[in-house]
Amino acid sequence: MNTLALLQSAWPYLLKGTGYTLLFAVGAMVGGLLVGALLAVLRLSGIKALQWPAALYVSAMRGTPLLVQIFIIYYGLPAIGIQFEPITAGILALSLNTGAYVSETMRGAINGVDRGQWEAAFSQGMGRWQTLHYIVWPQALRLAVPSLSNSLISLIKDTSLVSVIAVTELMLATKEVISTTFQPFPLYVAAAAIYWCLSLIFEQVQRLLERRLGRTLARQP
């Protein structure tokens, strides 16, 4: 079988795997944003009883391999009576891991907003949370977009790790086709090209979002 015929026959399997890859990436980014926002708020709360657990969580998730975290959630938790389906376990593991990195991005972006913005809002009678929501957060979001986009691009590649729990995302779909065709080189190259294309698409989304946020902030008084 020549390379073109091989790729044509493999395309339906690769396309299905790509769909699962996008499901994991988008689902985990949404989950990671929620987890990250919560952690960032806890770490900026000024309450040590909330700051220390959040900081410990971030340290643990950033200091251990994602693959180990996937194993703990899918294979380890059933030992204490908690069990997830493979897709749920994969999205959960990716979300919890991504949330740790997102929280640091958000915290850094919020801290990057000029302190005078806080003081000006306080002088107008706004409270801490009002200031964060209406004044600081819109500016911090623009600062955070490039790093958040990089996290999403990294997440697309990290989805390949969920193949170890028998989820037929792009990597496992590629391996399954290789097991029947015995032609690894063109198929792995095709998988790499698909990951690359997905990354390029999200890079374009990042640029559009940055421009839109820039125009929005420019219109603000």
Return the number of other C-beta atoms located less than 10 Å from residue 116's C-beta. Answer: 8
State CA 162 to chain mean position distance.
14
148 contacts 102 by C-beta, under 8 angstroms: yes
98 contacts 32 by C-beta, under 8 angstroms: yes
> What is residue 122's predicted lDDT score, i.e. its pLDDT?
83
* CA neighbor of 24 nearest in space, from 118, 87, 117: 87
> What is residue 162's predicted lDDT score, i.e. its pLDDT?
93
Query: Range of 181's domain?
Result: 3-219
> What is residue 149's predicted lDDT score, i.e. its pLDDT?
83
Residue 129: which residues within 8 A CB-CB, separation 6 or more? none
> Phi/psi at 125 (nearest 5 deg)?
90, 10
> What is residue 1's predicted lDDT score, i.e. its pLDDT?
64
Angle between helices 86-112 and 137-158 (to 10 degrees): 150
CA distance 218 to 45: 29
* Number of separate domains in the chain: 1
CA dihedral 42, 205, 88, 38 (to 10 degrees): 10
CATH classification at residue 175: 1.10.3720.10
pTM exceeds 0.85, yes or no: yes
Which residues of the chain are under the pLDDT cut of 50? Answer: none
> What is residue 15's predicted lDDT score, i.e. its pLDDT?
95
